[in-house]
C-alpha cells in the first residue's frame, strides 16, 4: 500500500496534517528526520505510516513504559501488528514478542530505551529486518533533569550499528537549545528538521488573579467543564490532597497524584483517569509526561509554574483531539513571593540561580502581559503571530495604567522599614502601613508614626497586593530571607529617584468566559444541538465496549469521531466509513454496533 492508502484505510483519515506528508515521504525514502511538533500535532503517524510502508519492523523507542500497553492495544484495534518489550513483562510474554519479531509478524515494536543497552536486545534486532528507528520524547537526551538520559545517550550508537536504517527523532519541546542538543547527541547532523508551529489554537489560555483558588476552580468546573476530564496542577503534595478532597466533597470526581503516594496507588489513579470518562486528576507536575489521553478538556494551575516551558508542556496536555479546551491559571502575590524565595533558597551555583530567575521572569511576564497571551507564548519559542481572539486578554482586554505613584509609595515604605535592623517585614505590614491600619503589629513597632502611614487610601488591600505583585514581577522589588522581607533593587531606585515610569495591568471587571474557539481545519464541525443525545448514546456504547475489552475509551473511538458520527447520522456502513477516524478494521469490528446504536 502507498502512504495515502495506509492513511485512509488503516487510520481512517482523509488527509495529512501540517508537515506529516513531507515527513512520511522523507522517512519512507530512507532519510533521517528531527520532528518538532506540539502535543496533539500528530507525531505518531510520522513513524507509524513509514513503518507500515517500508519493509521490516518499525522500532519505536519510548520511555513511557506505563503507556505502552495502551499504545499497542490502540494499534491492534486498527489492525496494525504491534508489540512491546519492557521490564514489566514476564519472560514468556517477552519471548512471544521476540518470536513474532523474528518471524516478520510485527509492523511496529515499542521498546523501552534501557532495552537497547542490553546486548541481547541488540542481537535480537540484528537478526530481524528493521524498517526504521523512531526515537520518541527525544528531549530526554538533553541536558537538564531527565531521568532516562543515560539510556537515551546510548541511542547515538544506533547509527553505527544500522547505518542504512532511517531514524526519526520526535519531541514536543519547543526551545531552540533543546533542538540543537538533540541533533548533536543523537548524531542527527544530516537529518532533515521539521519544525511545526507550536500554536494550539483550540486551547483557550486564561490567567486570573488568585483570590480563593479552590472556589474559583470549582466555579470554572461547574460553569464550563461539568463532567469533563481535566488535570489540576498544584505545587505541593499537601495541596494536591486538600484540593482533591475539596472537589470530591463538592461533587466533582477527583483523584490525587504525587510522588508521596506509593507506586501502586499512582498507577491505579493514572489508569482510572485514562480509562474512565470525566475524572479530574489533581497532581503535582510529577504527573502527565506522555499522557496521550485525547479528551482532556481543561488543565488548571492553582500555583504558578516555574517556567514558560513547564506551563506550555502542562497546558499542552489539554485538547489533543483538537476540540475546544481551557488552560486556566490562578496567580497571585503569594506565588511570586514563594517562587522568588524558593530560588533564593535553592542549592546550586550562581549560574544555576540566574537561569531559574530568567525562567521565572519570563513566566511572570506572561502572567502580567496586557497583550495576547498566545502571541507572547509563541514569541518565547521564537514563533510570532497575530492576536488570537481565544485568550483572556484578547476576549476581555485589560487596561494598563500609570502605577508610578503607587509604586513609589510602596517603595518608600519598604525603604523606611529597611532601617529597622532587628525586625523584618513582608508585604502584609507594608500594605497595613499604607492603608493606615492600626494593627497590633503596626502599633508595636510604632509604624503609625512613619511619614508613609496612611498615605495609600486610593487603593484597597487587593489593589495594593496587585501593585506589590507587579513590582515583584517586574523586578522593581525583591524578597529576601526567611520571612520573605521586601527589599529594594537597583530598579526600585530608578523609580524612586530617577523618574522611571511603571506601567501596570488593571484586571478587567469580569473574567473572560466567552468561547469563540473554532474547530481546526479537518476537525469535525461542532454538533448541532439535536445530535447531543445521540452523542451521549454513542459515548455510553463506547464506555461499555472499552470496559469489556479493558482498554481506555479513546482506544475505541475519539470524541471527535463520535461527534461527527452523531452529526452525520450515517445510515449505512459505507457512509459510516467516510467519517474521519473510522478505518477499515474499526468499520468491520464496530460498524454494525454503531449503526444499531444510532437506530
Q: List residues near ligand ADP by CB under 6 A.
A: 13, 16-17, 20, 37, 39-45, 292, 294, 320-321, 522, 558, 580
Least separation in angstroms between residue 41's CB and ligand ADP is 4
Give the Cβ contact number of residue 163 at 10 Å. Answer: 7
Residue (99 or 370) nearer to Zn ion, CB: 370
Least separation in angstroms between residue 45's CB and ligand ADP is 5
**366 scored as a contact of Zn ion (CB under 5 A):** no
Residue pair 46/27 in contact (Cβ under 8 Å)? The answer is yes
Residue (316 or 583) nearer to Zn ion, CB: 316
Element (H, E) at 486: strand 485-487
- Give the side-chain half-sphere CA count within 13 A for 462: 7
**65 scored as a contact of Zn ion (CB under 5 A):** no
Q: Distance of CA 9 to CAs 3, 47, 587, Å?
A: 10, 17, 10
Among ligand ADP, Zn ion, none, residue 418 binds (CB under 5-8 Å by kind)? none
Least separation in angstroms between residue 92's CB and ligand ADP is 31
Among ligand ADP, Zn ion, none, residue 339 binds (CB under 5-8 Å by kind)? none
Among ligand ADP, Zn ion, none, residue 174 binds (CB under 5-8 Å by kind)? none
Residue (374 or 558) nearer to ligand ADP, CB: 558
Among Zn ion, ligand ADP, none, residue 201 binds (CB under 5-8 Å by kind)? none
Cα separation of 394 and 122, whole Å?
Answer: 53
Residue pair 233/314 in contact (Cβ under 8 Å)? The answer is yes
Residue (69 or 334) nearer to ligand ADP, CB: 69
Residue (22 or 241) nearer to ligand ADP, CB: 22
Least separation in angstroms between residue 264's CB and ligand ADP is 27
Residue pair 93/76 in contact (Cβ under 8 Å)? The answer is no
Residue (20 or 269) nearer to ligand ADP, CB: 20
Which residues, in sequence order, are bridge partners of residue 33?
A: 168, 192
Residue (486 or 546) nearer to ligand ADP, CB: 546
Q: Is 281 strand, coil or helix?
A: strand
Least separation in angstroms between residue 260's CB and ligand ADP is 29
Least separation in angstroms between residue 301's CB and Zn ion is 18
Cα separation of 591 and 568, whole Å?
Answer: 14
Among ligand ADP, Zn ion, none, residue 292 binds (CB under 5-8 Å by kind)? ligand ADP
Q: At what angle do helices 404-418 and 461-473 cross, to 10 degrees?
A: 80
Among Zn ion, ligand ADP, none, residue 577 binds (CB under 5-8 Å by kind)? none
Which residues, in sequence order, are bridge partners of residue 505?
A: 400
Residue (44 or 121) nearer to ligand ADP, CB: 44
With a CB cutoff of 8 Å and minimum separation 6, the contacts of 452 are: 409, 412, 413, 416, 433, 434
Least separation in angstroms between residue 322's CB and ligand ADP is 7
Residue (121 or 175) nearer to ligand ADP, CB: 175
Least separation in angstroms between residue 151's CB and ligand ADP is 20
Cα separation of 302 and 284, whole Å?
Answer: 10
**374 scored as a contact of Zn ion (CB under 5 A):** yes
Residues belonging to the chain = 599
Residue (207 or 377) nearer to ligand ADP, CB: 377
Cα separation of 133 and 187, whole Å?
Answer: 13
**372 scored as a contact of Zn ion (CB under 5 A):** yes
Task: Pick the piece of the chain touching Zn ion (CB under 5 A) from 101-109, 340-348, 380-388, 458-466.
Answer: 380-388
Let me know if 249 is exposed, middle or buried by CB neighbors in 10 A (0-12, 13-18, 19+). exposed
130-135 β-sheet, strand order: 82-85, 108-111, 57-61, 130-135, 167-171, 33-36, 192-195
Least separation in angstroms between residue 375's CB and Zn ion is 6
Least separation in angstroms between residue 550's CB and ligand ADP is 20
Among Zn ion, ligand ADP, none, residue 397 binds (CB under 5-8 Å by kind)? none
Cα separation of 588 and 599, whole Å?
Answer: 18
Cell triple for 581:
477516524
Q: Which of residues 185-214 bind Zn ion (CB under 5 A)?
A: none
Residue pair 147/65 in contact (Cβ under 8 Å)? The answer is no
Among Zn ion, ligand ADP, none, residue 266 binds (CB under 5-8 Å by kind)? none
Residue (20 or 484) nearer to ligand ADP, CB: 20
CA end-to-end span of the chain, whole Å?
35
Among Zn ion, ligand ADP, none, residue 388 binds (CB under 5-8 Å by kind)? Zn ion
Residue pair 303/233 in contact (Cβ under 8 Å)? The answer is yes
Let me know if 126 is exposed, middle or buried by CB neighbors in 10 A (0-12, 13-18, 19+). exposed
Residue (13 or 205) nearer to ligand ADP, CB: 13
Least separation in angstroms between residue 545's CB and ligand ADP is 18
Cα separation of 420 and 159, whole Å?
Answer: 65
Among ligand ADP, Zn ion, none, residue 40 binds (CB under 5-8 Å by kind)? ligand ADP
280-283 β-sheet, strand order: 203-209, 325-331, 296-301, 229-233, 280-283, 254-257
Cell triple for 218:
470549582
Least separation in angstroms between residue 169's CB and ligand ADP is 13
Among ligand ADP, Zn ion, none, residue 430 binds (CB under 5-8 Å by kind)? none
Q: Which of residues 381-410 bind Zn ion (CB under 5 A)?
A: 388, 391, 394
- Contact positions vs Zn ion (CB under 5 A): 372, 374, 388, 391, 394
Amino acid at each position: 500500500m502507498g502512504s495515502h492508502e495506509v492513511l485512509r484505510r488503516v487510520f481512517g483519515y482523509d488527509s495529512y496534517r501540517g508537515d506529516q506528508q513531507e515527513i512520511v515521504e522523507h522517512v519512507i525514502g530512507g532519510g533521517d528526520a528531527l520532528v518538532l511538533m506540539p502535543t496533539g500535532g500528530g507525531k505518531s503517524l510520522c513513524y507509524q505510516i513509514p513503518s507500515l510502508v517500508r519493509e521490516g519492523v518499525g522500532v519505536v523507542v519510548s520511555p513511557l513504559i506505563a503507556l505502552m500497553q495502551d499504545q499497542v492495544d490502540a494499534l491492534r484495534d486498527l489492525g496494525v501488528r504491534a508489540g512491546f518489550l519492557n521490564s514489566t513483562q514476564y519472560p514468556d510474554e517477552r519471548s512471544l514478542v521476540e518470536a513474532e519479531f523474528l518471524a516478520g509478524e510485527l509492523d511496529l515494536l515499542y521498546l523501552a530505551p534501557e532495552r537497547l543497552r542490553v546486548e541481547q536486545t541488540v542481537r535480537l534486532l540484528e537478526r530481524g529486518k528493521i524498517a526504521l528507528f523512531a526515537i520518541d520524547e527525544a528531549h530526554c537526551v538533553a541536558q537538564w533533569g531527565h531521568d532516562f538520559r543515560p539510556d537515551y545517550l546510548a541511542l547515538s550508537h544506533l547509527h553505527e550499528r544500522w547505518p542504512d536504517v532511517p531514524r526519526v527523532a520526535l519531541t514536543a519541546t519547543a526551545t531552540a537549545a533543546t533542538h540543537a542538543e538533540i541533533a548533536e547527541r543523537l548524531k542527527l547532523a544530516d537529518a532533515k528538521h521539521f519544525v511545526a508551529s507550536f500554536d494550539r489554537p483550540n486551547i483557550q489560555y486564561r490567567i486570573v488573579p488568585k483570590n480563593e483558588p479552590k472556589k474559583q476552580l470549582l466555579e470554572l468546573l461547574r460553569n464550563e467543564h461539568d463532567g469533563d476530564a481535566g488535570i489540576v496542577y498544584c505545587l505541593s503534595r499537601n495541596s494536591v490532597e486538600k484540593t482533591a478532597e475539596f472537589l470530591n466533597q463538592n461533587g466533582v470526581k477527583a483523584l490525587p497524584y504525587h510522588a508521596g503516594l506509593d507506586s501502586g496507588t499512582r498507577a491505579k489513579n493514572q489508569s482510572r483517569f485514562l480509562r474512565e470518562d470525566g475524572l479530574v486528576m489533581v497532581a503535582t507536575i510529577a504527573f502527565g509526561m506522555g499522557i496521550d489521553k485525547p479528551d482532556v478538556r481543561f488543565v488548571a494551575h492553582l500555583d504558578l509554574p516555574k517556567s514558560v516551558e513547564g506551563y506550555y508542556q502542562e497546558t499542552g496536555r489539554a485538547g489533543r483531539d483538537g476540540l475546544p479546551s481551557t488552560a486556566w491559571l490562578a496567580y497571585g502575590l503569594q506565588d511570586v513571593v514563594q517562587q522568588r524565595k524558593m530560588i533564593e533558597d535553592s542549592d546550586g551555583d550562581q549560574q544555576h540561580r540566574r537561569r531559574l530567575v530568567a525562567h521565572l521572569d519570563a513566566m511572570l511576564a506572561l502572567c502580567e502581559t496586557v497583550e495576547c497571551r498566545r502571541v507572547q507564548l509563541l514569541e518565547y519559542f521564537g514563533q510570532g503571530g497575530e492576536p488570537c481572539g481565544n485568550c483572556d486578554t484578547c476576549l476581555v482586554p485589560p487596561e494598563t495604567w500609570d502605577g508610578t505613584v503607587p509604586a513609589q509609595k510602596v517603595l518608600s515604605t519598604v525603604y523606611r522599614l529597611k532601617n529597622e535592623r532587628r525586625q523584618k517585614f513582608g508585604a502584609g505590614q507594608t500594605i497595613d502601613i499604607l492603608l493606615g491600619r492600626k494593627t497590633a503589629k503596626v502599633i508595636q513597632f510604632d509604624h503609625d508614626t512613619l511619614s508613609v502611614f496612611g498615605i495609600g487610601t486610593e487603593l484597597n488591600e487587593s489593589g495594593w497586593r496587585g501593585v506589590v505583585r507587579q513590582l515583584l514581577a517586574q523586578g522593581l522589588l525583591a524578597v529576601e530571607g526567611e520571612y520573605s522581607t521586601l527589599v529594594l533593587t537597583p530598579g526600585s531606585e530608578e523609580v524612586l529617584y530617577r523618574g522611571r515610569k511603571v506601567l501596570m495591568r488593571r484586571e478587567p471587571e469580569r473574567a473572560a468566559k466567552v468561547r469563540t474557539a473554532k474547530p481546526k481545519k479537518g476537525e469535525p464541525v461542532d454538533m448541532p444541538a439535536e445530535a447531543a443525545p445521540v452523542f451521549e448514546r454513542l459515548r455510553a456504547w463506547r464506555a461499555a465496549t472499552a470496559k469489556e475489552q479493558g482498554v481506555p475509551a479513546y482506544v475505541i473511538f475519539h470524541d471527535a469521531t463520535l461527534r461527527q458520527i452523531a452529526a452525520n447520522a450515517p445510515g449505512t456502513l459505507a457512509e459510516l466509513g467516510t467519517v474521519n477516524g473510522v478505518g477499515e478494521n474499526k468499520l468491520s469490528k464496530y460498524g454494525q454496533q454503531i449503526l444499531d446504536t444510532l437506530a
